[in-house]
Structure 1
Amino acid sequence: MTTPPASIDLKRLAAEVSVQHGIRIDPDDPMMAVVTLNRLVFEQAVAQVLDSMQMAVRDFEAAAEKVEVRAGGVLAQEIRYYVTTLRKEGLSEVGQSQRNSDGLPSLGDAGPTSPWSSWKWFVAGLSVAFLLVSLGIWVGGQLARSAQIR
């Protein structure tokens, strides 16, 4: 997808050398072959650098996707762990409450160790986790978009 190289105006270059250095060079002079050769070598070097840059961007995007997947997996595992822990704590507290009062605790009894307090923390934690995942996805999209622009 490279554009064809712009041709060098050899007449203009020959005139410029004549003006600046007082040396007469014709456009068909063998010296002009050096200019053309120099341009071709430069174009090849630029093409190689461009290929390397494109490969580096692809590698970076692949690594970013792997990080997103890995972070999502770790986050999901942590959420499962905390949900299981909260569920166990909530069930044990509800069991104790039933043994002590033969009924579910009322919402007004939501002290620091009540099941209702645990559920509030669970909902708060789940909300924060959702926000962090959303932020990670948004940042990943912005990074991918900026890598495509460059």
Structure 2
Amino acid sequence: MAEKRAPRLPDSAEPPCPCGRPEAYGACCGRLHSGERTAATAEELMRSRYSAFAVGDADYLLRSWHPGTRPRRLDLDPRMRWLRLEVIATSGGTPFHTEGTVSFRAVYDDAGREGELREDSRFLRHEGAWTYLDALA
């Protein structure tokens, strides 16, 4: 007997992607999370990593982490809710670069207390794909 699945809503009926772009998750970061395609820029990878935190996709976060700095495992706090992302600046990180930096502000809710994470993230290409390296000090 075939497995029953919930019908997939048309993209226009899906909520916008957590990354802040107007596209639906399935047409935006969901395509990167599923492996359908890879990020073309460091900013796109950063946005998809934010969305992975928002939807709880630790596997994608590990896959998109540079092997030189990747932790063995990643435990996400299920109580943490990511609310919104603001990209402040980018440097490099285009399809023509091998390195890039993205400065961002991410707002979250942790057990009813709102907070924010500000970071200047470094990205490197590894085997042709953008990867998250680390945060600048």
TM interval, shorter chain, is: under 0.3
- Larger helix fraction of residues: 1
User: Between Structure 1 and Structure 2, which shows a larger proportion of strand residues?
Assistant: 2
Tell me: higher relative CO, structure 1 or 2? Use CA pairs within 8 A at least 6 residues apart: 2
**Greater CA radius of gyration, 1 or 2?**
1
TM-score (ref. length: structure 2): 0.19
TM-score (norm 1): 0.18
